[in-house]
Structure 1
């Protein structure tokens, strides 16, 4: 029988709970031999923020440079957190890192990009973390809901857990 899970898309928003979600993705990959694709989606800035930015940064090249720096900063944060996460594994478990076949930072609307990339990468499972209730829950919880509602493959939403060690 063919394994049911051969490719996992782990979608991270770089929040505290995404580390716990990555633990679940790594555990599933270890158990099944699946590859892991790590994805972070930079949300577009709001129209108000864009207009404000254009008002105070008049030079178009400077605005483009700032957008590139934002993207590069997120890549750096993701790389640092990935390194810290995988450094906590020892022995055979450390080999799970070899199952990470891609790490991608891209721009767009998170739910749409997660769903599109899951299809493009041929994933069998999407793993992402939920959020605590509050301001961020309203927006970021919407991403998980949209992914769950529209996904054609199983999706694991790891519940928010207060008090876990932050990576």
Structure 2
């Protein structure tokens, strides 16, 4: 069995990974911790964007890579087979594509519960996954304290 855990690298991601880790431990499952990084910005008239922007994007990717690796290490330290993945692309599409590619049997993600107005204006990542996934989805509620 394998579990795909989608994280946004907010402080709440640790709670989502811990929940997936408990399920993995009970079922002897492998865990893939996925962070879908922002796609590269498009710049009209530039091949790869201004150098300052490329530098900022590279620094952000390094930080995100380090953070997702740290989440996987915590699970590995607890005896769970865990792999960190950092991919670029639209979050819902990328998550579902990776779940299929990895032959995951469960997707675990968090929901911040911003509310109906936020979801209408911005959209809900968790709702997008639930609507489009062919796999079971576990949503870990995240409440700001």
TM over 0.5: yes
Where 1:161 maps in the other structure, the secondary structure is: coil
Q: Match for residue 149 of structure 1? A: 131
TM-score (norm 1): 0.71
Q: Match for residue 95 of structure 1? A: 79
- Which consecutive unaligned segments of at least 5 residues does structure 1 have? 1-5
TM-score (norm 2): 0.80
The 5 Å alignment of 1:10-159 reads 10-44=5-39, 60-83=50-73, 85-86=74-75, 94-96=78-80, 99-100=81-82, 102-133=83-114, 138=119, 142-159=124-141
Aligned residues: 140
Where 1:104 maps in the other structure, the secondary structure is: strand
Q: Match for residue 3 of structure 1? A: none
Higher relative contact order (CA 8 A, sep 6+): 1
Larger Rg: 1
